[in-house]
């Protein structure tokens, strides 16, 4: 049995290794390691793993399924962590996600922006760009990016931070991340402060850092394999 008082030694080792790799890649890119936020993705893992991560100094947790995220956030309400929602989201669940999440990385359509808008509180927002031709992969098509960004910027309660992307399968990640950097330049004509880039996962975070990632979403490289 492991819990926050008896952490899994493998977890601490993997976390340290990733932190060292992130710092090394940042220095290679001529960047400061502290400009990069590592979000640890804990989907399918129990709340106890999140508690162990928090005890190891992790402050940013990523989840991609609302029911699961909501349950963990409720169980761990006294932990000082920010919950990042990174999965596809139904509009009717949007208000519920606002209740626990500090950031949403998967804004992909105008109706979701409308569902997330609020006069009561601010939520950090990332617009997800689809780097494939398959709409099922999530994210807005690049041709519709500016219109969606304008919609976010003109909606109350959403603080646009930047863009999110997942590297396509079956092609090198670095050129894909370079395309996202180009999209970022495009949207900053509309939203000059929205320069954040949420990109880079377990297998490609070093490439993402070289292309300017500010928010990494790393699961298995830190947590180990997800339970079936």
Ligand X SMILES: *Cc1c(COP(=O)(O)O)cnc(C)c1O
Interface positions with ligand X (CB under 6 A): 41, 43, 64, 86-87, 166, 201-202, 217-221
- Residue 58 or 166 having the CB closest to ligand X: 166
Which of 49, 88, 68, 60 minimizes the C-alpha distance to 225?
49
CB of 54 to ligand X, least distance (A): 18
Whole-angstrom distance, CA of residue 211 vs CA of residue 228: 33
CB of residue 205 vs ligand X: minimum separation in angstroms? Answer: 8
Cα 166 to Cα 73, 98, 150, 181, 216, distances in angstroms: 25, 23, 22, 13, 11
Minimum CB separation from ligand X for residue 43, in Å? 6
Closest residue to ligand X: CB criterion:
219
17/193 with CB nearer ligand X: 17
Nearest distance from C-beta of residue 207 to ligand X, angstroms: 13
Cα atoms found within 13 Å of the Cα of residue 1, Cβ hemisphere only: 2
Q: Which of 110, 181, 120 is nearest to 150 (CA)?
A: 110
* Residue 39 vs 79, nearer CB to ligand X: 39
- Nearest CA to 62 out of 72, 77, 52 is that of 72
Closest to ligand X by CB, 67 or 154: 67
Closer to ligand X by Cβ: residue 118 or 202: 202
Coil, helix or strand at residue 134: coil
CB atoms within 10 A of CB 200: 30
Q: Any alpha helices (H) in 64-158, and if so which ranges?
A: 66-75, 94-100, 110-116, 145-153
DSSP state of 105: E
Considering the complex, what minimum distance in angstroms separates the CB of residue 120 from ligand X?
Answer: 27
- Least distance between ligand X and beta carbon 87 (Å): 6
């Amino acid at each position: 049995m492991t819990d926050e008082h008896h952490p899994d030694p493998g977890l601490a080792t993997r976390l340290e290794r990733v932190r060292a790799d992130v710092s090394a890649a940042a220095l290679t890119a001529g960047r400061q390691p502290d400009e990069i936020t590592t979000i640890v993705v804990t989907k399918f893992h129990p709340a106890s793993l999140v508690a162990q991560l928090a005890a190891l100094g992790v402050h940013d947790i990523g989840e991609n399924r609302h029911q699961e995220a909501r349950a963990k956030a409720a169980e761990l309400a006294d932990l000082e962590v920010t919950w990042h929602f990174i999965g596809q989201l139904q509009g009717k669940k949007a208000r519920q996600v606002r209740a626990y999440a500090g950031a949403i990385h998967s804004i992909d359509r105008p109706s979701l922006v409308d569902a997330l808008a609020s006069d009561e509180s601010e939520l950090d927002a990332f617009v997800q760009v689809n780097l494939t031709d398959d709409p099922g992969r999530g994210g807005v098509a690049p041709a519709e990016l500016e219109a969606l960004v304008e919609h976010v910027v003109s909606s109350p309660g959403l603080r646009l931070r930047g863009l999110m992307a997942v590297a396509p399968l079956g092609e090198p990640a670095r050129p894909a991340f370079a395309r996202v950097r180009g999209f970022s330049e495009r949207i900053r004509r509309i939203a000059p402060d929205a320069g954040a880039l949420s990109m880079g996962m377990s297998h490609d975070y070093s490439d993402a850092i070289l292309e300017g990632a500010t928010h990494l979403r790393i699961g298995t490289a830190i947590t180990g394999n997800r339970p079936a």
